[in-house]
Amino acid sequence: MLKIYGIKNCSTMKKAFDLLNELGLTYEFHDYKKQAIDAETLKAWLDAKGAEIILNKKGTTWKKLTEAEQQDALASETNLIQTLSAHSSMIKRPVLQTEHGILVGFDEAAYRALK
C-alpha cells in the first residue's frame, strides 16, 4: 500500500490526493502536523534522496530561520534531522512511499506510472 506524508491543508497535497483518488490507488495519509515525523524515517529519506531533495528551502519556515540557524541545520545530518523534526513544514511535500522507494514532490507523470 502507498503511504503519503505531508500536511492536510496544502495545495500540492490536494493535487496528490485528487490524483491518487482518480487513479483508484489506496493510500494511507501521515499528517506531520498531527502525527509528527520520526528521526528514523527522516534519515531513510535523506539517505535515499539527499538533503537537497528533502529540505524545502523555498518555504517560509526555512526563510524565517536566521542565517546561523540555517547553517547549523546544514552542518550535519543529525542537525538537519532535528531541524526537520521540529519544523516538519520544511520537508518537501508530498513524500509518497511506494514499494519501489519514495517520490518527493508532486510529479503527475510519476504518480500516473504507479497505476
Active-site residue set: 10
Q: 16 with 6: CB under 8 angstroms?
A: yes
Order of strands, sheet of 2-6, starting from the edge strand that comes earlier in the sequence: 27-31, 2-6, 95-98, 101-104
